[in-house]
Structure 1
Amino acid sequence: MKRLFIIVLGLTAGSLSFKATAQTTQATANDQMRFGIKAGATLTNIGKYSFLGQEYSTDHKAGFQAGIYADLPMGGGFAFLPEATFTQKGFKLKETVGETTGEINSTLNYLDIPVLIGYRPSPEFTLFAGPQASFLLSQKTVVKANGNEVTSTTDTDNLRKSVAGGVIGVGYSITPNININGRYMMDFQSAAKEDQNQDKAKNRGFALTLGYTF
């Protein structure tokens, strides 16, 4: 019985020591300037879209996001978290009028530059928010009628080349190096130029990424 008590005591002490070491490692990592890479998926739409004199609600479109980030501690649990990411946005729209079903599938590729401030209520969790500038890289829009392609364009003349927006989200560090990050993104300006009568067509949606911090 005495030997069993000693074994249990040893295992308990070892477990507590391991947990304390892990927490110390995590806390130390959070006090250092660090950099990382990330990649994941997006799910976005543009809200309302005007087409042929009618206004439609757009459906979500899946996309891709990948980029780099920095983690710069500011003290008091706060951190400066700038990023540069390639982000796919866009929308889908499908409507049936009479015997004709029309579809629009649009993909817009941006370089997003979020300038975020984060707060860590614990070493593992990070709450963050801040403004974001998005720079248009390319786009492709395909229009179909009854499943047949009518037209396809990569022209960007009618789109804003830069758009202001914002980001809010939460991150969780699985280990000091590996993290997951979920966010909601929304542009404050229309994706289209002012003369296109698309004031409500603003990129918005979610991104979920897996990151590695060096």
Structure 2
Amino acid sequence: MKKTFLTLSFAILFVLNAFSQVSYGVHAGISVYKVKDFIADNALAGFTGGVHAQVSIAKSFVIQPEVNFQMQGSRYNYLGFMGDIANVEFEDSYRFNYLNIPILIKYQIPTTTLNVFAGPQNGFLLSAKHRSTPKDFETHTYDVKDQMNSYTFSGVYGIGWDFPQPNNHKISLEARYSNDFTKLEKAASSNAKNHGFSFMLAYTF
């Protein structure tokens, strides 16, 4: 499915680029994610950022493809053992770094600077770490990438506020929600999936 989606996406963008007005930009911000149906299910904050293009296809509609680096994952706390020592407080986290490629359709709400958007997203797992931190002891980090699926397919939905600048440039604030449709873990018994919010500042020129 990922090969078909990417091939179709690039073909559409090539055609749109030839016949439409295109602008480019950068964006960055913070992501707050968690993994449902997973051992770690508390929110974990991280960085997100990337580049985007905006292709005008109608008066109020824009297609916005992006390439993003995004930190996702979850954290949790529990009491465990350190050798013979019982009831040690642990703060553990699962940290996943993704290369995400969403293709968003934006609708500019008439007479306002607001827009709403939605679209599919391909995600490629770059790294997956389990970090275990027992209180008053050394932190240990484990590579768990082999236990996770390397590809995810997601939906992205959000709202943005545009602030026009000289020379047709603009600054934008965005809030978006993303949820995976595919499973995080390879294990057949698992149904863990990433989901969370991102808040970003963007500059389009």
Pairwise same-fold verdict (TM > 0.5): yes
3-state SS of 1:157 partner: helix
Confirm or deny: 8 A CA contact 1:136 1:160 kept in the other structure: yes
2:193 paired residue number: 202
Deviations 1:85-142 (A, max 9, x none): 0000011011237834333212110000001111111352111001111000112211
2:114 to 121, 125, 132: 125
Which residue of structure 2 lines up, in the alignment, with residue 75 of structure 1? 58
2:71 aligned residue: 88
CA–CA separation in structure 2 for the residues paired with 1:119 and 1:79: 7
Q: Which is higher, the Rg of structure 1 or of structure 2?
A: 1
**SS at 2:147's partner residue?**
coil
Instruction: Output the CA distance in 2 between the equivalents of 1:109 and 1:41.
Output: 13
What is the distance in 2 between the residues matched to 1:90 and 1:147? 24
Does the CA contact (< 8 Å) of 1:131 and 1:166 recur in 2? yes
The correspondence for 2:147, drawn from 158, 171, 190, is 158
Q: Percent identity?
A: 31
Residue 99 of structure 1: SS of its match in structure 2?
strand
Deviates more, 1:65-74 or 1:143-152: 143-152
TM-score normalized by the length of structure 1: 0.75
TM-score (norm 2): 0.78
Q: What is the aligned partner in structure 2 of residue 47 from structure 1?
A: 36
1:175 aligns with 2:164: yes
Alignment CA distance shift 1:78-1:59 (3 Å): same
Match runs of 1:15-30 below 5 Å: none
Q: Which runs of 5+ in 1 are unaligned?
A: 1-30, 51-56
2:90 equivalent to 1:102: yes
Unaligned runs of 5+ in 2: 1-19, 81-85
Cα deviation code 1:5-63 (max 9, x no counterpart): xxxxxxxxxxxxxxxxxxxxxxxxxx94211000110000102214xxxxxx6111110
8 Å Cα contact 1:110-1:136 kept in structure 2: yes
Please show how residues 2-17 of structure 1 align to structure 2 within 5 Å.
none
> What RMSD in Å do the two structures reach over aligned CA positions?
2.0
Amino acid at match of 1:129: A
Q: Shift in Å at residue 156 of structure 1?
A: 1.0
CA distance in 1, matches of 2:179, 2:49: 18
- d(CA) in 2 for partners of 1:174, 1:149: 47
Q: How much has 1:78 moved relative to structure 2?
A: 1.2
